[in-house]
Structure 1
């Protein structure tokens, strides 16, 4: 499926993260791509006694993660920052479902509750832990092949029309920056705002307004990391906020620091990275 429903954005302070972790992404082939956005893995190998906290602005997606020696877990869409303290050396392999994709894949609407975590064995049985051990004993390509086969055996016969409509709406919200309100999305797809609201709650467990704002926060963090000198007032308007004050409030409420401070953190990390590579 070629339609994007999630970006590659969300990793905070990417210049700093690049010094500590290796984030890789892999495409999904065939019918499984109707439900799964991509595969991903994170590798790290920190010096003895060192630690690093990877911080992510989560997407409105369910993730199925595999971890050597720790087991497989299913994580619902996160509403707060996702923090991952790392030490030593390690690796995680994951499956990022499309927004609503996990509920559509399992056939259980509202299966993806926000901030929900459960052992994958509770959903898939003990064979998923056997898969975890085998998949994580090799490299990423082995994991992609084995996990793809495992999920393909559980594919629904066909996607529900309601789910396909959801994907079209989500993709438009992601790609079209002119969509800043739910009523705009509803009008584009000949639906009422309440119908859109019900559709999102059924499959994602989060409302369409929340989704639009999360994608725009992703955009904002990405722009600030790439261009710390960006005009904040102009950026706020471009991304759909009524003014800079509302943008600053929403950004700080999620990230923990105002946009200008976050931009400086990214700039400092970038300067340190340049010095370290000279």
Structure 2
């Protein structure tokens, strides 16, 4: 399986984010790597409040959190369809688990992953072994990682060929920019559109069309951050949009500002 990502794809204004918090993405124990993309650890000590924003991936997260003057807690965050915003202030710590898209259901087989979509559920009964103290208290990072490993291994997920198929299909969408239409993709995979949509609802939490569009917005974000003069019409064509206006519409709806305004803001902050 792929190693933890080192890019900042999905993080809005990543340079600003990384300048304010200590952010790391360690690997889980080897037996977990087929289902867990990476852990993500954040520590902060801020003189003034800061609002972080992320354009989420099609992934479910389990997140252990400690905010100043609050009791620690754990939550399941289903796939978030809009811009994910979190206010950070004072001192705090987060230890998160990012499941590979399609890989969460073996750990919580009782319901379709779409039932978690858009929700952030504190102390879910599905995970009674979650121990906030063991995960959040140690200053030693290896101890925190070991606690996350212990928690996940205690859930004893069973093999699930449908989860494996869902993971494979989402990864194919992520890496193959020629995939633009759900009907064409389903045909290539030897599936009906309805069967593909049912698989994604049950194991990914969102439909294949949403996944295609989200990965394209991630790429547009990355290009806006890396290039001084983006050819937006050319990029729209590369990403499979009918025209530039459709890219601008989706980008604005997802990020909150048009792509040209976002690119200008990134350049001015740099």
Task: Give yes or no for contact 1:183–1:193 (8 Å, CA) kept in 2.
Answer: yes
Task: Show the counterpart of 2:65.
Answer: 67
**Which residue number in structure 1 is paired with residue 2 of structure 2?**
2
In structure 2, do the counterparts of structure 1 residues 180 and 4 end up closer, same or farther at CA, with 3 Å as the change threshold? farther
Worse overlay, 54-63 or 138-147: 138-147
* Structure 1 residue aligned with 2:213: 213
Distance 1:142 1:3, change over 3 A: closer
Match in the other structure for 1:124: 127
* TM-score, with length taken from structure 1: 0.89
**Counterparts in 2 of 1:200 and 1:210: CA distance versus 1, 3 Å:** same
* 1:193 pairs with 2:193: yes
- Distance in 1 separating the partners of 2:155 and 2:125: 15
SS at match of 1:201: helix
1:78-97 correspondence to structure 2 within 5 Å: 78-97=80-99
Aligned twin of 2:180: 180
* Deviation string, structure 1 residues 79-123 (Cα, Å, up to 9, x no partner): 111111111121111001112222222223414521112123422
Check if 1:46 corresponds to 2:46.
Answer: yes
Question: Which aligned runs of 4 or more in structure 1 are off by greater than 6 angstroms?
Answer: 3-7
Q: Partners of 1:103 and 1:202 in 2: how far apart?
A: 8
State the partner residue of 1:14.
14
Between stretches 36-45 and 71-80, larger displacement belongs to 36-45
Task: Output the CA distance in 1 between the equivalents of 2:213 and 2:222.
Answer: 14
* Residue 118 (structure 2) aligned to one of 109, 115, 118: 115
Count of aligned positions: 264
C-alpha distance after superposition, 1:151-181 (max 9, x if no partner): 11212232x2221111111010001111111
**Alignment correspondent of 1:145:** 146
Give the whole-Å Cα distance in 2 for the aligned partners of 1:117 and 1:266.
29
| TM-score between both structures, scaled by the size of structure 2 | 0.91
Judged with a 3 Å threshold, the aligned counterparts in structure 2 of structure 1 residues 178 and 33 are, in CA distance, closer, same or farther, namely same
Distance across 2 between alignment mates of 1:247 and 1:152: 42
Q: Is the 8 A contact 1:16 1:266 kept in 2?
A: no
Instruction: Report the counterpart of residue 276 of structure 1 in structure 2.
Output: none
| 8 Å Cα contact 2:75/2:120 also seen in 1 | yes
Q: Distance in 2 between matches of 1:3 and 1:155?
A: 22
The answer to whether the Cα contact below 8 Å between 1:35 and 1:105 also exists between their aligned partners in 2 is no
Distance 1:87 1:37, change over 3 A: same
Q: Structure 1: which 5+ residue stretches go unaligned?
A: 271-278
What SS class does the counterpart of residue 190 from structure 1 fall into? Answer: coil
